[in-house]
């Protein structure tokens, strides 16, 4: 069969005692995956596939050989009903762990049964999610988990209240409160789905006693005079595109940046129509002339803006692009130079900015439009329609959305309000 097993003492990450993990390496179809045995050894304590120089070395060796034999036996049995040549080593590892950690690959009648390995279930769960962005958010959580534990071996049974507290504490180094909350809610959703499907017993559910933390976000909107100030400020050339994108989002009724970047080319009628990625609600708007000027500067061939033709839609690529955008916005303002000490001695000259709005991000454009629209006496139902919200009043929702002229009028009204005109 297309697989091979070998021993490997992993000394790349040793513990305080100078010990590394003894692993079984699974090779299959040009790929490999390491499976920890739970045994920690120093460099000289593993020789010629045997434990040496330790009390009970022979007994420990026999135990390890038995574990290797069990792994091999399971793979051989699995090869009787599964094409191993179509599998990667990581998949083999997951299937083996499922059995060795208490799950069952097949029941007495030969029917396959899902196990309680978290990653195995999560990947199947993700396959059923239709919205790509939603899948990517869950995948982001899985990657975060992979930095905390050996996710391949993580079972639902391992995720206790104490485990959740430890994971939350670990995330504080890299994540804010609300980001940690997203990861915790994703784990909770997977737990609930697994319980509903009978994969996990309800008594294992840890979120009855674990409260997911949430932090109120600060008000994220500019005043009308602030929008004018940002629009009229003569920023550095490299910042121009960031300010333009913010203003364009604002002029287009607070369109989300991800929807803006994904817009197709505008029709000859000057109308854009799109479906919000978050809610699936259809939005339609006649592009104001202020926005047309910006679009012309960054006009794309396959999309409204050329940015959308060069940004990968993977979660990491998108986050990197948004990070650069928001960092650029936070630098808009007068610049000066100062000297700072270098680590090796001496000083270096750096450029610093006295930002007009130090907390400004792309998402402020959406909040700002909604706030100013309300100040300009735009009806709530029209604001909801322009923003692509799902209305709690279906009949009003239908009426407004069929009369897109009201949304066009709202866009014009807000721009006039910013300019200080009578509305």
Question: 155-185: per-residue pLDDT in tens?
Answer: 888 899 999 999 999 999 888 888 899 999 9
Give the tokens for residue 198. Answer: 């009978």
Contact status, residue 308 vs residue 261, Cβ threshold 8 Å: yes
pLDDT score of 23: 92
Distance (Å, whole) CA 228 – CA 288: 16
Task: Tell me what the mean pLDDT of segment 206-230 comes to.
Answer: 85
pLDDT score of 104: 46
* Protein fold of 118-204: DNA polymerase; domain 1 (1.10.150)
Is pLDDT of 399 > 60? no
Q: How wide is the angle at C-alpha 408 spanned by C-alphas 404 and 411, nearest 5°?
A: 140
pLDDT score of 242: 94
Q: How confident is the model at residue 395 (pLDDT cuts 50, 70, 90)?
A: very low
Distance (Å, whole) CA 151 – CA 140: 13
Distance (Å, whole) CA 241 – CA 245: 6
Q: Do the strands 46-47 and 20-28 form a parallel or antiparallel pair, or are they unpaired?
A: unpaired
* Protein fold of 224-418: hpI Integrase; Chain A (1.10.443)
Q: How confident is the model at residue 376 (pLDDT cuts 50, 70, 90)?
A: very high
Contact status, residue 20 vs residue 14, Cβ threshold 8 Å: yes
Name every residue whose Cβ is closer than 8 Å to that of residue 85 and which is 6 or more positions away in sequence: 1, 2, 29
Distance (Å, whole) CA 108 – CA 36: 29
Distances (CA, A) of 49 to 15, 52, 222: 21, 10, 67
| Average pLDDT score, the chain | 85
Is pLDDT of 193 > 80? yes
Nearest Cα to Cα of residue 70 among 36, 100, 95: 100
pLDDT score of 119: 87
Q: What is the pTM of this model?
A: 0.55
pLDDT score of 305: 93
Is pLDDT of 62 > 60? yes
What are the tens digits of pLDDT across the range 77-110? 777 766 778 778 887 887 787 666 544 444 334 4
Extended beta strands in 42-115, E state = 46-47, 50-51
Task: Tell me what the mean pLDDT of segment 136-150 comes to.
Answer: 87
Burial 279-306 (b: 16+ CB within 10 A, else e): eebebebbbbebbeebbeeeebeebbbe
Give the tokens for residue 402. Answer: 């069929």
Task: Tell me what the mean pLDDT of segment 246-263 comes to.
Answer: 94
Domain ranges in the chain with CATH number 1.10.443: 224-418
Is pLDDT of 188 > 90? yes
The answer to which of 17-21, 75-79, 216-220, 282-286 has the lowest mean pLDDT is: 216-220
For the chain, percent of residues with pLDDT exceeding 70? 89
Domain ranges in the chain with CATH number 1.10.150: 118-204
Nearest Cα to Cα of residue 254 among 398, 362, 153, 159: 362
Nearest Cα to Cα of residue 221 among 368, 374, 418: 368
Q: How confident is the model at residue 401 (pLDDT cuts 50, 70, 90)?
A: low
Distance (Å, whole) CA 151 – CA 145: 6
pLDDT score of 339: 73
Highest-confidence segment of 124-133, 207-216, 328-337? 328-337
Is pLDDT of 113 > 50? no
The answer to which of 23-37, 48-62, 211-225 has the lowest mean pLDDT is: 211-225
Which residue has tokens 């005043």?
223
Nearest Cα to Cα of residue 125 among 197, 58, 59: 197
Is pLDDT of 389 > 90? no
Q: How confident is the model at residue 217 (pLDDT cuts 50, 70, 90)?
A: low
Q: How confident is the model at residue 130 (pLDDT cuts 50, 70, 90)?
A: confident
Higher pLDDT, 393 or 61: 61
pLDDT score of 109: 40
Contact status, residue 167 vs residue 144, Cβ threshold 8 Å: no
């Amino acid at each position: 069969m297309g697989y091979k097993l070998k021993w490997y003492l992993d000394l790349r990450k040793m513990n305080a005692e100078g010990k590394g993990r003894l692993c079984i390496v699974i090779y299959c179809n040009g790929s490999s995956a390491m499976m920890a045995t739970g045994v920690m050894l120093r460099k000289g304590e593993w020789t010629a596939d045997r434990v040496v120089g330790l009390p009970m070395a022979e007994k420990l060796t026999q135990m390890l050989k038995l574990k290797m034999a069990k792994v091999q036996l399971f793979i051989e049995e699995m090869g009787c009903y599964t094409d191993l040549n179509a599998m990667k080593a990581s998949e083999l590892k997951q299937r083996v762990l499922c059995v060795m950690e208490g799950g069952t690959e097949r029941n007495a009648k030969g029917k396959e049964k899902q196990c309680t390995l978290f990653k195995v279930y999560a990947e199947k769960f993700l396959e059923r999610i239709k919205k790509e962005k939603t899948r990517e958010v869950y995948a982001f959580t899985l990657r975060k988990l992979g930095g905390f534990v050996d996710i391949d071996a993580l079972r639902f049974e391992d995720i206790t209240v104490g485990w959740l507290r430890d994971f939350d504490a670990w995330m504080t180094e890299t994540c804010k409160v609300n980001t940690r909350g997203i990861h915790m809610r994703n784990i909770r959703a997977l737990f609930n789905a697994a319980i509903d499907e009978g994969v996990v017993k309800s008594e294992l559910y840890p979120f009855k006693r674990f409260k997911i933390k949430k932090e109120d976000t600060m008000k994220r909107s500019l005043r009308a005079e602030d929008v004018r100030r940002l629009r009229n400020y003569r920023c550095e050339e490299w910042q121009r595109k960031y300010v333009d994108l913010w203003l364009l989002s604002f002029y287009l009724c607070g369109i989300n940046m991800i929807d803006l970047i994904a817009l197709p080319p505008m029709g000859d009628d000057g109308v854009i129509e799109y479906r919000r990625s978050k809610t699936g609600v259809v939005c339609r708007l006649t592009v104001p002339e202020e926005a047309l000027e910006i679009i012309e500067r960054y006009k794309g061939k396959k999309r409204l803006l050329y940015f959308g033709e060069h940004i990968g839609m993977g979660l990491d690529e998108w986050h990197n692009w948004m990070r650069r955008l928001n960092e650029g916005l936070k630098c808009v303002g007068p610049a000066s130079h100062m000297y700072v000490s270098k680590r090796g001695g001496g000083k270096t000259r750096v450029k610093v900015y006295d930002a007009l709005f130090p907390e400004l991000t792309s998402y402020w454009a959406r909040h700002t439009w909604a706030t100013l629209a309300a100040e300009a006496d735009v009806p709530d139902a029209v604001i909801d329609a322009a923003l692509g919200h799902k209305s709690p009043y279906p009949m009003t929702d239908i009426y407004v959305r069929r009369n897109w002229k009201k949304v066009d009028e709202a866009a014009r009204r807000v721009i006039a309000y910013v300019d200080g005109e009578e509305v």
